[in-house]
Amino acid sequence: MLGVILMRFLFCSLETPGFLFPAIAVALELKARGHEVSFVADAKCCALLASQGLARVERGSRDGESFQVAFWAKPTSIAIQVKHVEYALESFCADALVGQALTLGPILAAQKHKIPLGLLGFCTYLWPYDEAPDLGRAWSESGARACWRHNDMVRILNEARALFRLPSYEGDCRETPLLGDLFMVRSVSELEANIARLPPRVHLVGSCLWEPTEISPEVDNWLEVAKYSEKPVIYVQHGRFFHVPSFWPSLAEALKGLDCRIAASSGRLDSEVSPVPEGALIREHLPQSKVLRQASAVVASANTTAVLGALEAGVPSLLIPGGGEQPDVAELAERAGVAKCIPAQEVTPVLVREALQEVLTNRSYRQSAEIYRSAFFKVNGAALSADLLERLAITKDPVLRPQENLQELRRAVSS
């Protein structure tokens, strides 16, 4: 903790585990340091937050839905987020807001009330590094995707700003309001090849993965049987697939030719979980870290939670990206040598079987995954994020790279 100054942090989180869990990780670290922490989130998050000793502020005198990931891009939903934050500020005088890459409401609330804002992102930077490509050089596919994504999100943000009669943002991507005053990418320097090109407000903070402690005899028993069977365990995390076909039918067919055991988390699956491989453990939610400790490979849609979990466990992956951040995350993992990727539109049972066999048998994937496991092990994501947020709350200024020496900052604060 920086000196003896205690501060208040208001976390603004979407309701799904991929967003809520890392926010809880950072919030618990700040709380352990003596700071006051509170949440604005959907009402369905109440029980989990309460179980961790974290308070949720209701949306108003008539509580209701708020910060729903399915509506993150709807201007009216963003306006509800703003009102929820403003209601919370009436009783919780925050020194800083902590939002996420897709929570646009806190960006507006921070501007309206002149409160510093930190944002927790995905495991790769999703917007352009530069305002325009060098003269004579065309955008790469990923660069064009990043440019489109930034422009579209700024358009959505400006539509929401108009609801509050705030001026539109017309600046460049390196000063974009989508970065807040501090933007935390959940990665490490070994994985992010373009650190020097990132905007100065962007920091790498490790995985920030967190899960509630669960007692699940069923999962424990299944893993014990799998261990003694000596068959490889494949962890499947399908996730949402937006506007492309689900890979589940092709995966189920491909697994018929492989002697392995399947543990699948189906909570975000857009389609029916059918057919089901014999002996598979398929539940809406599985304790990812527990399963990954025994897994030989991961099959996932390249969502940040699954990929970071695989990297932290040193497990190689077969990634079949859908939408959102997934194509960028899949490219990152493939470039790092920890994953084999198949475009969702090209998925067939034969391709899935061949790719999974390669991931299971080609030792280079496991060796690369082990390198990144070691890299993530060295970084306490929650602690590093808390350090940066403390700095933001104390200085009230954008937190830029490279960081000032935190020891010097501590001495300055305590003197």
Q: Which 3 state secondary structure label does DSSP give 257?
A: helix
Question: Who contacts 368 (Cβ-Cβ below 8 Å, separation ≥6)?
Answer: 316, 336, 337, 338
In this predicted model, what pLDDT tens digit does every residue of 250-281 receive, in sequence order? 888 898 878 899 999 887 665 666 666 778 89
Q: Give the closest residue to 260 by CA, choosing from 236, 237, 231.
A: 231
Whole-number pLDDT of residue 412? 41
For residue 242, the model assigns a pLDDT of: 61
Residues of the chain with pLDDT under 50: 1-2, 133-138, 404-415
Strand (E) or helix (H) holding 327: helix 326-335
As a whole number of angstroms, the distance between CA 38 and CA 181 comes to: 20
Tokens of 189: 């320097």
Q: Which CATH class is domain 8-206+380-414?
A: alpha beta
What pLDDT, on the 0 to 100 scale, is given for residue 135? 39
The answer to whether the 8-206+380-414 and 217-376 domains have the same CATH topology is yes
Q: Is the pTM of this model over 0.85?
A: yes
Written out in words, the top-level CATH class of the domain with range 217-376 is alpha beta
Q: What is the dihedral of CA 149, 151, 156, 161, to 10 degrees?
A: 140
Angstrom distance (rounded) from CA 62 to CA 84: 11
How much is the pLDDT for 106? 98
pLDDT at 406: 43
What is the residue extent of each domain of the chain?
A: 8-206+380-414, 217-376
